[in-house]
């Protein structure tokens, strides 16, 4: 608990800096929001009125402060193109992206942990080399290309799955899953490769430790050794990477949603960028980055459960 | 003796990665003047031709030769890698060196800012920066470079902090070496190994990022043959020409694999524990 309280201020500081970076980046975007709303034909008086109404005449620090206080109340502003609150737009599309990200991550973990363990316990076997090959492929193949190849195979050649589009879970869970199978594979397989490599490496490191030799000498079976002594320690670096990979997954879903025409947060980002919808860009970038930071914070917290050695005292000075 | 030990750690990964990267560099050079066909020349009569003798990789929806376009794309991919890693390495080394060498409030503030930048998913930050600057090849390089700054800054700072404790740095300080001199002559050369490894890995991710940005229409613009853009264009025609979607993707995968191998090989080679 102490550890949590020590880390909490640094989480708040990072979130504050993220809001600052987001605001600064979006301020560089050329284009006048008033002109975007009213169009290029708008009379100058109307533009000036709207600018005043939007508060664009105020100095930038003041604009930042009023945006930030809005954000703290859950108000991310109003989209210029949709004319609706940014928070509502994000909330509508979040289920698609979260389904995609969490299911991809689950697939990656379900594949990577057993594969990594098997590779480590059968080092230098064909299986081991197969896992390493998969890991390299996962690092090198762009997820959107995997998506394109899956469409080529499962949608265009064999016609088993739809090549794009999304059916909400509430409408038909089976169709929802069918529409997400290929995106999940495209996004999850590269992560599975990276994770499997890490699980393998940390397992090998743990297996070479002294206490494992002692356990073997005591006559414990390999399964007992793996389950009781190796797995828990080997999973710590994996959990760290999981947190980092969730950021990768949320970023990757921007591209994958485009490949499969999924109406998620990622496509909203592209819509906002292509239409210079500044409040929407600002809200989305802040939301995604804050989500990633918060998840990584929670992952950090998970360590204390996995590894009781990590505490306030031990962390101090590192 | 030392040389012998070093050579033993020239792993197959290092050699394989080096060969792939070198081959890609040659293809990129050839791609600018010695392609079998003009990469941008259209020939509607020869559109969507499958791979064959006249066009080894086939042709696209405008009858352009895909092999020539893939070769042209190599130059674009590698140039993005060079510039983006250059920006990341340059910016990161300056920020990391200042933060590590001087420490204090300035160092702390710089590193917190790097943490904040690091918190953004890379592709999201790149999209936001390209969104701010406008789509295009140059802006994509710049955006990917900015995304790369924090990781190099962290590595540089860690190296500086480690090297600063060494006796020879104290000795240099004792004989009156200036900060710049100590940084240039002692700290940077000794902290270079992890940066070199990271540069190779970042090169690979930069190529992937450029492909993603171009796929989204935010990177290299037509008619320049970017691999990512080629895959985006292939999406509409791949039911009639699957080869459109195969070769640019293979080119990306092979190049990224080459740089990843090189990075892994370098890591083993430069690891002092070996």
Nearest chain B residue to A292 by CA distance is B119
- Looking at residue A311, its pLDDT comes to 52
Residue A17 and residue B211: Cβ atoms within 8 Å? no
Q: What DSSP string describes B152-205?
A: HHHHHHHHHHHHHTSHHHHHHHHTT--HHHHIIIIIHHHTHHHHHHHHHHHHHH
- Looking at residue A180, its pLDDT comes to 94
Confidence category of residue B229, pLDDT binned at 50, 70, 90: very high
Give the three-state DSSP class for A174.
helix
Residue B215 and residue A288: Cβ atoms within 8 Å? no
Give the three-state DSSP class for B109.
helix
B39 touches B65 (CB < 8 A):
yes
Alpha-carbon gap, residue A224 to A244, rounded angstroms: 30
Alpha-carbon gap, residue B26 to A88, rounded angstroms: 51
Task: Spell out which residues of chain B touch residue A270, defining contact as CB-CB under 8 Å.
Answer: 127, 216
* B158 and A CB contact within 8 Å: no
User: Is residue A41's pLDDT more than 60?
Assistant: yes
Nearest chain A residue to B122 by CA distance is A251
Give the three-state DSSP class for B32.
coil
Give A223→chain B minimum CA distance, Å.
Answer: 32
Alpha-carbon gap, residue B203 to B85, rounded angstroms: 6
Confidence category of residue A296, pLDDT binned at 50, 70, 90: confident
Report the DSSP beta bridge partners of residue A43: none
H and E: helices and strands count for chain A: 14, 0
Please name the helix (run of DSSP H) or strand (run of DSSP E) that holds residue A124, with its range, or none: none
Listed in sequence order, the residues at least 6 apart from B168 whose beta carbon sits closer than 8 Å to its beta carbon are B186
3-state helix, strand, coil in chain A (%, to 5): 80, 0, 20
Q: Nearest Cβ partner of A255 from B113, B128, B215?
A: B215
A238 touches A111 (CB < 8 A):
no
Task: Spell out which residues of chain B touch residue A18, defining contact as CB-CB under 8 Å.
Answer: 116, 119-120
Residue A148 and residue B249: Cβ atoms within 8 Å? yes
Report the DSSP beta bridge partners of residue A85: A78
pLDDT digits (tens, 9 = 90+) for A210-255: 888 888 888 888 888 888 778 877 887 788 778 778 888 888 999 9
Confidence category of residue A3, pLDDT binned at 50, 70, 90: low
Residue A251 and residue B245: Cβ atoms within 8 Å? no
End-to-end CA distance of chain B: 13
Confidence category of residue B169, pLDDT binned at 50, 70, 90: confident
Report the DSSP beta bridge partners of residue B65: B59
* Torsion angle of C-alpha atoms A280, A286, A288, A290, degrees rounded to 10: -160
* B257 and A CB contact within 8 Å: yes
H and E: helices and strands count for chain B: 12, 0
Tell me the two tokens of residue A226.
């793996």
A265 touches A288 (CB < 8 A):
yes
B17 touches B264 (CB < 8 A):
yes
* B146 and A CB contact within 8 Å: no
Mutation to test the B interface, candidates A129, A148, A256, A286, most B Cβ within 10 Å: A148
- Give ipTM to 2 decimals: 0.85
Share of chain B above pLDDT 90, in %: 42
Q: What is the DSSP letter of B38?
A: -
Mutation to test the B interface, candidates A197, A244, A251, most B Cβ within 10 Å: A251
- Looking at residue A245, its pLDDT comes to 82
Helices (H), A165-209: 173-207
User: Is residue A121's pLDDT more than 70?
Assistant: yes
A50 touches A80 (CB < 8 A):
no
Q: Nearest Cβ partner of B120 from A141, A254, A289?
A: A289
pLDDT digits (tens, 9 = 90+) for A74-117: 899 889 889 899 999 999 999 999 999 999 999 999 999 999 99
Of A171, A202, A179, the C-alpha closest to A263 is A179
B149 touches B92 (CB < 8 A):
yes
Range of A28-37, A198-207, B6-15, B156-165 with top mean pLDDT: A198-207
Give the three-state DSSP class for A168.
coil
Task: Spell out which residues of chain B touch residue A296, defining contact as CB-CB under 8 Å.
Answer: 119
User: Is residue B252's pLDDT more than 90?
Assistant: yes
Q: Is the pTM of this model over 0.80?
A: yes
Alpha-carbon gap, residue A67 to B134, rounded angstroms: 24
Give B123→chain A minimum CA distance, Å.
Answer: 6
* B167 and A CB contact within 8 Å: no
Vertex B217 angle, CA B213 and B223, to 5°? 110
B227 touches B252 (CB < 8 A):
yes
Alpha-carbon gap, residue B20 to A72, rounded angstroms: 51
- Looking at residue A69, its pLDDT comes to 92
A101 touches A253 (CB < 8 A):
yes
Largest Cα–Cα separation, chain B: 76
User: Is residue B262's pLDDT more than 80?
Assistant: yes
Nearest chain A residue to B218 by CA distance is A274
Q: Among A127-131, A297-301, A303-307, A312-316, where is mean pLDDT lowest?
A: A312-316
pLDDT digits (tens, 9 = 90+) for B25-70: 999 998 888 888 888 888 888 788 889 888 888 888 888 989 999 9
Give A245→chain B minimum CA distance, Å.
Answer: 9
Q: Nearest Cβ partner of B128 from A144, A152, A281?
A: A281
* B245 and A CB contact within 8 Å: yes
């Amino acid at each position: 608990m102490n550890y949590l309280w020590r880390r909490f201020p640094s989480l708040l500081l990072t979130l504050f800096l993220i809001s600052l970076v987001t605001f600064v980046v979006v301020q560089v975007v050329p284009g006048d929001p008033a002109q975007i709303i009213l169009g290029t034909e708008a009379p100058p008086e109307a533009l000036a009125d709207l600018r005043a109404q939007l508060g664009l005449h105020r100095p930038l620090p003041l604009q930042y402060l009023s945006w930030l206080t809005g954000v703290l109340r859950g108000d991310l502003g109003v989209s210029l193109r949709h004319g609706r609150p940014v928070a509502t737009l994000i909330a509508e599309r979040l289920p698609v992206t979260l389904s995609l990200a969490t299911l991809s991550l689950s697939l990656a973990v379900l594949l990577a942990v057993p594969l990594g363990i098997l590779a480590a316990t059968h080092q230098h076997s064909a299986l081991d080399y197969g896992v390493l090959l998969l890991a390299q492929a996962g690092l090198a193949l762009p997820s959107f290309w995997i998506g394109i190849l899956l469409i080529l195979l499962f949608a265009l050649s064999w016609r088993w799955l739809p090549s794009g589009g999304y059916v909400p879970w509430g409408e038909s869970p089976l169709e929802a899953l069918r529409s997400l199978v290929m995106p999940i594979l495209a996004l999850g397989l590269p992560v599975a490769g990276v994770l499997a490599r890490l699980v393998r490496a940390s397992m090998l490191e743990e297996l070479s430790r002294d206490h494992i030799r002692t356990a073997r000498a005591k006559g414990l079976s390999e399964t007992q050794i793996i389950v009781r002594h190796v797995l828990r320690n080997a999973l710590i670096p994996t959990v760290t990477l999981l947190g980092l990979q969730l950021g990768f997954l949320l970023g990757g879903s921007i591209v994958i949603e485009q490949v499969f025409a999924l109406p998620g947060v990622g496509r909203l980002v592209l819509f906002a960028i292509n239409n210079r919808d500044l409040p929407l860009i600002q809200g989305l970038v802040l939301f995604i980055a804050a989500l990633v930071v918060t998840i990584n914070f929670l992952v950090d917290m998970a360590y204390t459960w996995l590894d009781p050695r990590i505490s306030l005292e031990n962390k101090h000075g590192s | 003796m030392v040389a012998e030990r070093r050579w033993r750690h020239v792993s197959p990964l290092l050699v394989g990665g080096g060969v792939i990267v070198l081959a890609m560099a040659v293809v990129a050079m050839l791609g600018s003047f010695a392609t079998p066909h003009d990469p941008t020349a259209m020939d509607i009569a020869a559109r969507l031709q499958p791979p064959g003798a006249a066009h080894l990789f086939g042709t696209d929806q405008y009858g352009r030769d895909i092999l020539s376009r893939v070769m042209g794309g190599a130059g674009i991919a590698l140039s993005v890698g060079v510039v983006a890693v250059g920006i990341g390495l340059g910016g990161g080394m300056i920020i990391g060196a200042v933060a590590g060498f001087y420490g204090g409030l300035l160092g702390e503030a710089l590193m917190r800012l790097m943490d904040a930048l690091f918190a953004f998913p890379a592709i999201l930050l790149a999209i936001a920066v390209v969104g701010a600057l406008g789509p295009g090849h140059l802006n994509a390089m710049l955006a990917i470079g900015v995304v790369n700054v924090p990781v190099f800054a962290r590595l540089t700072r860690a190296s500086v902090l480690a090297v600063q404790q060494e006796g020879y740095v104290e000795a240099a300080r004792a004989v009156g070496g200036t900060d710049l001199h100590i940084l240039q002559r002692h700290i940077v050369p000794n902290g270079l190994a992890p940066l070199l490894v990271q540069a190779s890995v970042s090169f690979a991710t930069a190529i992937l990022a450029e492909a993603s940005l171009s796929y989204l229409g935010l990177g290299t613009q037509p008619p320049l043959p970017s691999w990512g853009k080629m895959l985006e264009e292939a999406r509409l025609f791949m039911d009639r020409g699957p080869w459109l979607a195969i070769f640019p993707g293979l080119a990306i995968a092979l190049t990224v694999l080459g740089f990843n191998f090189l990075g892994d090989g370098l890591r083993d080679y430069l690891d002092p524990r070996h």
